[in-house]
Structure 1
Amino acid sequence: MKTVQELQQQMHHKVWAVIPAAGSGSRFSKTELKQYQMIQGQTVLQHTVSRLNDLPLSGYVLAISEDDSVARTLNLTQPDKAHFCLGGAERVNSVLNALTYLSQIASPEDLVFVHDAARPCVSSNCLNRLVNTAIQENCSAILAIPVRDTLKFVEQDYNIDKTVSRDYLWQAQTPQISRLGILKSAIEQALQNGVNITDEASALEYVGETVKVVQSRSDNIKITYADDLELAKLILSSQK
């Protein structure tokens, strides 16, 4: 597998990152933001940005809330490549704001991947395989893992209606990568038509864009609940 830098040099691609970090994270805490929790002396967001900078990024855009007084003060890796923009009401709005900002400094043909601010454990190998897939196959792609457990379709009163086949089911993760122009247009069209956008791939699917799955790892967790933070601490320690 070629390195991302070799592929970029060969095919003249630039790679950018977008990190939506304006959410309230209410499932984690009513008062504390999960991206600013501490692990090994750094915030979750710092760990996330550091992982992304294992790639030769041209830059990364953090979409933050208007009242965020922390993000710009952090000692982020590759600070000269850091850009900030105002986030939106929902994650998809933050992503679109960041893509709009990026459109002023990047080409529509450049690759951009979107990664959750509270997903600090993604491995360098997964990142490289994701970008390799996007460049070599000229497609959009996401990290995902096959569903492992038996799935049940449950009715409103918690009665099981049926068992759902997991043969073709994958659990989507981030990063999710696409060309800047394609992704921005897909999200704009989906929002204009009232489509529910849960991740970047759902917008790309809506406009008929092919999206490849790149198998990821189960330790690429997203910190959603308070106990996820303890798991992330263990994962980062083991990876170190």
Structure 2
Amino acid sequence: MAHNGPVGREQLHWVAVLAAGPAALLGGLTAARAWGLRRYDSPAVHLLLPARHQARSLPPGVLVHRTTRLPEEDVLHVGQPRRTMPARSLIDAAQWAATDEEARAIIAAGFQQRLVGGTDLHQVLDRLPRVRRGRLIRQTATDSAGGAHSLAELDFLGLVRRAGLPEPSRQTVRRDATGRRRYLDAYFDKWRVHVEIDGSQHLDPRTAWADMRRQNDLWIEGDRVLRFPAWALRNTPDDVVTQLRAALTAAGWPG
């Protein structure tokens, strides 16, 4: 409907797609946001166009990306405006990201927020052999599908591997004393060592108390529980490894 008020975000998407021509579609973070991705946004509208398509004059704030590979499986044709499917959207967002860290965070968020799962990204990557950051995206997708659903959890997993420690299970489900399902960030099953990675959300009193109750339940059952703030994984990784190694050794890990 026509109006003379300010242009909203969804309307700007329409303007960008219509201005670029019939071959254009929303891509990257713009498409991922349309699929429901939260906490990650871009001030620009990202469009994906076939490599040989000539773009028309575009409004400010529109970024055009080109591709030589756009299989039908990667395009949502019934949605309006047209956009890439979730897995392709996340892969494009990751390869267009400013840094590797941002790329990893976007992929992890896609799994954590249930936009994708299993081998969804691997199937798309198999169709796109020349993706920028392809190895990083594939490894991040593998770890995220295995249960590492945040950048801090991915950092912890990398730390464990570099230190030569046994690999934990991720997002293991346990039930607390009330029967509610709880998810453990990392759990070394054989030695009953549980690691919790605390992000900024753990500063909220209600979240902190929920974490304490879960931790108390685990201690009552006999598990060893270690907690590390996310910043410690990057700033004092040797301390994290030392404490984790000591806990595993005390629990019977032969080293």
**How does the TM-score come out when normalised to structure 1?**
0.26
Higher RCO, 1 vs 2 (CA within 8 Å, ≥6 residues apart): 1
Q: Hey, which of these two has a bigger chunk of strand by percent?
A: 1
Larger radius of gyration, structure 1 or 2? 2
